[in-house]
Structure 1
Amino acid sequence: MTTARQMRLAGCHDCGLLARLPHEHGHCPRCGGALHFRKPGSLAKTWALLIAAMILYIPANTLPMMITGSIVGTQSDTILSGVVYLWTSGDWPIAALVFFASIMVPLLKMIAILLLLITCQRRSRWAPQQRTRLYRLVEFVGRWSMLDIYVVTILAALVQVQSLASIAAGPAAVAFAIVVVLTMLSAMSFDPRLIWDPVDEEQEIPGETHDANH
């Protein structure tokens, strides 16, 4: 099977044009963007962004996400305690949404990116199609990663309008927003073509041997 790299073809990261690339790097003839067979330093950049996201994930879940004020006092809630507060207050749909978007989605995204990084760094040939689908899923979910920040903002506005209580975003909101941005950037910096490189190399060996025998 002939690959695009063997045919000296590379896709532009900016406009998506498939162009012929005689050397290891060049420029897109349509938009002038940089062309590479593989993103330079993809694994190193993705590792750096992912590790930073993992570090900030701790304060994002331990610092207060919501600060609730009422006539009886002020209460600071982390993401998890905020979920419990919303659940016990009867807002279980919002509680489930915040729990899934704030805790499960970032955690699963980081685990998925970590799996992709480890398997690519070890040049694993394990399930390349499934890993490619996993990467596409991570990229798709990244579009909805800020959903919980919007929920907290809308909830704060609704509570302040409809009752004597008030809800404000806490310092964890900043840390969590940075985590979201870092995970999105790490998914963007990862080059999914690295998943297929070991498979392509394995398929090239029999062909090279066959040609040598002739």
Structure 2
Amino acid sequence: MMPSVPGSAQTAAAKGLVNCHSCGLLVRRAFPDGQRLYCPRCHARLHTRKPNSLSRTWALVIAAMIFYVPANLLPVTVTRYLGSTQADTIMSGVIYFMQTGSWGIAVIIFVASIVVPIAKLVVLSGLMISVQRRSSWRPRERAQLYRLTEAIGRWSMLDVFVVTVLVALVRLGYLSTIEAGPGVVYFAAVVVLTMIAAMTFDPRLIWDALEKK
């Protein structure tokens, strides 16, 4: 069992160390506050914490929440077959695969396109609220949850890739065509915004509250 984090634990910033966001080098802060510090290895600008991390992440998460509504209400594919037209949203596509017996595909699309985006928005919101409240509850687990969220978030693009492949392959002249619907644009925006939000959030803020205990 991993030991619990003591309340007196100090962060690298408290010991005068700064981590480079670009190359990961741990640098001892040799200049007083107010002067710019650059990484000696890659020459990137160094910051004790990512500037305006919470405000930027909140803005991206809120924007992703707004785009998530039309992403699920608008069709992601428009199929034309022998003169008839059918528009499918993400959920209707999942239901179609379930009805045709393709449960594996239905589960993959449901998890990648429904569960993962919602879970990522919920987790990021929860982490930001805990940081703003300076919560010291289970910092190690929250940091691990953030890393997991950052790692799996990109798989939400699976639905966009499927639509792209279908549009490129299903071209049977006037018999059958598949076109991308407007929902794909909003869904892609949700995925990109949540990926950037995970990048702008600074998980080191989770540990800052321990120094105040």
Within-5 A mapping of 1:54-65: 54-65=65-76
Distance 1:157 1:87, change over 3 A: farther
Contact 1:97 1:148 in 2 (8 A): no
- Is the deviation greater in 41-50 or in 165-174? 165-174
Contact 2:131 2:205 in 1 (8 A): yes
Distance 1:117 1:3, change over 3 A: closer
Summarize deviations over 1:124-155 as a string: whole Å, max 9, x none.
11111111011001110123221111122223
- Is the deviation greater in 185-194 or in 63-72? 63-72
Within-5 A mapping of 1:4-43: 4-21=12-29, 22-24=31-33, 25-43=36-54
The reply to whether residue 179 of structure 1 matches residue 187 of structure 2 is: no
3-state secondary structure, aligned to 2:204: helix
**Could you tell me how far apart the structure 2 residues matched to 1:153 and 1:95 are?**
17
Residue 41 of structure 1, CA deviation: 0.6
Match in the other structure for 1:69: 80
3-state secondary structure, aligned to 1:16: coil
Contact 1:98 1:151 in 2 (8 A): no
- Is the deviation greater in 82-91 or in 97-106? 82-91
Summarize deviations over 1:70-122 as a string: whole Å, max 9, x none.
12500011111111122223333222211111111100000000000100011
| TM-score using structure 2 length | 0.88
RMSD of the alignment, in Å? 1.8
State which of 105, 113, 126 in structure 2 corresponds to 1:115.
Answer: 126
**Could you tell me how far apart the structure 2 residues matched to 1:139 and 1:23 are?**
33
Match in the other structure for 2:3: none
Consecutive unaligned residues of structure 1, counting only runs of 5 or more, are 203-214
Question: Bigger relative contact order, structure 1 or 2, given CA contacts below 8 A and separation 6+?
Answer: 2
Match in the other structure for 1:95: 106
Match in the other structure for 2:143: 132
Contact 2:19 2:46 in 1 (8 A): yes
**Could you tell me how far apart the structure 2 residues matched to 1:74 and 1:33 are?**
53
Match in the other structure for 1:209: none
Residue 157 of structure 1, CA deviation: 4.0
3-state secondary structure, aligned to 1:139: helix
Letter in 1 for 2:51: P
Residue 46 of structure 1, CA deviation: 0.4
Summarize deviations over 1:29-75 as a string: whole Å, max 9, x none.
11111111111110000000000000000000001111111125000
Consecutive unaligned residues of structure 2, counting only runs of 5 or more, are 1-8
Q: Could you say which structure has the higher helix fraction?
A: 1
- How many aligned positions are there? 201
Percent identity between the two aligned chains:
55
**Could you tell me how far apart the structure 2 residues matched to 1:50 and 1:40 are?**
17
Letter in 2 for 1:53: A
| TM-score using structure 1 length | 0.87
